[in-house]
Amino acid sequence: MTVLFAEAYSTKMSKTVHIGSKSQFDSLLRSSKIVVTDFYADWCGPCKQIAPIYEQLSAQLSRPNKITFAKVDTEQQREVAQRYGVTALPTFIIFKNTEIVESIKGADPRKLQAVVKKLSAEADSDGANGFGEASSSGSASWTAASLPKGYSDVTDQVDVRGLDLLNSASECGTARTLFDNSKPSALDSGKGKGKGPSNEEEDKKDWVESDTDEQLMLYVPFMSTLKVHTLHITSLPAKDDDEPPMRPKTIQLYSNRAHVLGFDEAEDLPATQAITLSPRDWDEKTGTAKVELRFVKFQNITSLVVFIVDGEGSGDKVRIDRMRIVGETGEKRDLGKLEKVGEHD
């Protein structure tokens, strides 16, 4: 494993269970549907390198009786290690209903993240969702589309404090709404209208709409350096509205900008990539389009500007319900000096 994948420990309290006996481990396998187990040793260098990523996954995805993360010190618990044939360190063994479903030898963070997040989505699913959809319950992020092999949902690396969104309607959600963990309310309503997750404000909407025209400009900074493979964009316009908002059609992406771009400025700059979506790109069930990027152009990404140029149709507003970032997580960034441009003007 290279230092590219070394991340700082999560600031959340660790939820990892440290195994002290064979009986404790057997009990854990019976009580939790999925058990992710890290077999390690204190003298193992690669074990120490991948430990922060393991702790981060544990903090994000642990759920009582559903998903439990455990660590087994192979020097102290030799019987447990021998029982499962552990011969290389680190070894990650994933159990489902007490049975081994996956084994990963070596410090392979990309594979570990992909496997664990896939199982997390399965654990949250009620089994009725065929498009990779996960429940909004628990701490896992809702996702409407399957992930490409070898890559993970890295939306949790969005620095929500630095988000910026231009030309958004005030009666709708904010930039943070796009990266909310919850399932869009429009999918629950079944009509595309939906409403906010809170009943305190009847008019609160958990999606974003453009205001004066169909254009939106979104600035997305990241807490880590990313390799971005795909964007998942969910748009669920209400079919029974007289003048429903449109889904995005033309999208321009700009990488590693220090701040949000003005609309005139963006039109004068060459985009890192321009995408044109067609109606067939949107999944009928989830209202989600999988936007694959030119991966070679999106290495070492610290921020993205997403420019929605126009929509599919003749309306004058565009709607976006959710956005997910798919790729690989790299080094943590020092955000101590991050400041939103214009904040103190």
The pLDDT of residue 165 is 94
The pLDDT of residue 17 is 93
Task: Identify whether 341 is part of a domain.
Answer: no
CB 253 within 8 A of CB 305: yes
Statement to judge: residues 80 and 180 lie in one domain: no
CB 268 within 8 A of CB 204: no
Residue type, 169: A
Print burial letters for 314-340: b (CB count within 10 Å at least 16), e (below 16). ebebbbbbbbbbbbbbbbebeeeeeee
The dihedral over CA atoms of 128, 59, 145, 127, expressed in degrees to the nearest 10, equals: -10
Statement to judge: residues 160 and 119 lie in one domain: no
Statement to judge: residues 159 and 295 lie in one domain: yes
Give the CATH number for residue 74.
3.40.30.10
Task: Identify whether 88 is part of a domain.
Answer: yes
Q: Hey, which residues does 324 pair with through a beta bridge?
A: 232
Task: Identify whether 147 is part of a domain.
Answer: no
The pLDDT of residue 64 is 80
The pLDDT of residue 136 is 34
The pLDDT of residue 193 is 54
Statement to judge: residues 288 and 182 lie in one domain: yes
Q: Are strands 216-234 and 248-255 parallel, antiparallel or unpaired?
A: unpaired
Task: Identify whether 11 is part of a domain.
Answer: yes
Q: State pLDDT tens for residues 96-148.
A: 888 888 899 999 988 898 888 888 777 765 333 333 333 333 345 677 788 88
- Domain boundary, last residue among 80, 108, 124: 124
Say how far apart CA 41 and CA 319 lie, in whole Å.
51
Statement to judge: residues 304 and 164 lie in one domain: yes
Statement to judge: residues 108 and 204 lie in one domain: no
The pLDDT of residue 33 is 86
Task: Identify whether 138 is part of a domain.
Answer: no
Statement to judge: residues 163 and 268 lie in one domain: yes
Statement to judge: residues 92 and 186 lie in one domain: no
For residue 78, count other CB atoms closer than 10 A to its CB.
12
| Long-range contact set of residues 259-265: C-beta below 8 Å, sequence gap at least 24 | 259/164, 259/219, 259/340, 259/341, 259/342, 260/164, 260/165, 260/166, 260/217, 260/218, 260/219, 260/305, 260/341, 261/217, 261/219, 261/305, 261/307, 262/166, 262/217, 263/166, 263/167, 263/215, 263/217, 263/307
**How many domains does the structure of the chain reveal?**
2
CA atoms within 13 A on the CB side of 149: 0
Task: Identify whether 94 is part of a domain.
Answer: yes
CB 186 within 8 A of CB 219: no
The pLDDT of residue 314 is 86
Residue 310 belongs to domain spanning: 152-332
- Annotated active-site positions, please? 44, 47
Return the residue matching tokens 């316009």. 237
The pLDDT of residue 7 is 37
Task: Identify whether 145 is part of a domain.
Answer: no
Q: State pLDDT tens for residues 183-202.
A: 898 887 554 555 544 443 44
Give the CATH number for residue 250.
2.60.120.470
CB 46 within 8 A of CB 1: yes
Statement to judge: residues 296 and 187 lie in one domain: yes
Statement to judge: residues 227 and 322 lie in one domain: yes
For residue 269, count other CB atoms closer than 10 A to its CB.
14
Task: Identify whether 229 is part of a domain.
Answer: yes
Statement to judge: residues 169 and 264 lie in one domain: yes
Say how far apart CA 167 and CA 275 lie, in whole Å.
20
Statement to judge: residues 81 and 197 lie in one domain: no
**With a cut of 50, which residues of the chain have pLDDT below it?**
1-13, 126-139, 191, 196-202, 336-345
Q: State pLDDT tens for residues 238-264.
A: 776 778 899 999 999 999 999 999 999
